[in-house]
Amino acid sequence: MKLNYLLLDVFTTEPLKGNPLAVVLKADGLLDNQMQAIAAEFNLSETVFIHKAQSERHSAAVRIFTPLVELPFAGHPTVGAAVVLGLQNRSTAVRLEEKVGVITCVIERVDKETGLARFALPKLPEEVGKAPARQAIATTLGLEPEEIGCGPYEPALFSAGVPFYLIPVRDAGALKRIRLERRGWEEVYPVGHRSIYVFTQTPEERGNEFAARMFSPGMGLGEDPATGSAAAALIGLIARQTGNGQHEFRLRQGHEMGRPSLITLQLRKADDQLTHGGIGGHAVIVGEGVLNLGG
């Protein structure tokens, strides 16, 4: 069995920046354990597998795997898969069947290797539990308790399909100084894959309003350069601090890793309720190859 694949960098227009992604094309013949093994072989934060859609109205079905687990939804595989299909089919919109639901992506072609994808969240973020105490959080991050919290933001646990502990820190300096302490991690962060999204406001920076870092030992990841599903969860917390109407924010991630990424967040509120959340970003194809699986 031979399968073609593409390598992309997502949430960037520059090759070798952003978050790497493998996109395996025409993957209908693969079993679940084969897809998981291929994702472990690539050893990227996520690998996405393109399947034939169940509905003729949809462009494709996609399955998303980290090196250890399958995810019902993730942002950078959604953006990457949408850009690949948009470029291949010369489409301005694609509809993807994911385990979390059907996602409609609007595509803008930049050049033959680069595109921009925007999509509405199939599941609006909601609070799904309680955050740990500041002292416990600070210990896991190698920070002081007074550095936990930023402006109006307090720690919280939100999910837009995948749960994340949202941890605000005082400023970009604190974000950069994080030194993880893994002992006791499971006790402090017991929910889901024990993933944390540490963020701060960046009023002193041009080009973005927020900065973030994501860590997820339970997904088989260390630090992730750009995490759309975590940014989607963060929309729920940001929405609490915004008024009614349409809002857009830019969030940088991956700078501390040398993989700068930029994620666009959109939200809309009416009658003090979140009615829309969206994620956007670029992706660029940087390589291609063939998987030779034998048989």
Q: For strand 156-159 and strand 163-168, is the pairing parallel, antiparallel, or unpaired?
A: antiparallel
Closest by CA to 6, choosing from 43, 36, 50, is 50
Burial class, 34, CB count within 10 angstroms (exposed 0-12 / middle 13-18 / buried 19+): middle
Closest by CA to 109, choosing from 125, 92, 95, is 92
CB atoms within 10 A of CB 88: 12
Residue 34 parent element (H or E):
helix 32-42
Q: Which of 14, 41, 46, 248 is catalytic?
A: 46
Does the annotation count 46 as an active-site position?
yes
CB atoms within 10 A of CB 113: 16
Closest by CA to 166, choosing from 150, 181, 182, is 150
Dig out the tokens for 147 from the structure: 């550095």
The residues annotated as belonging to the active site are 46
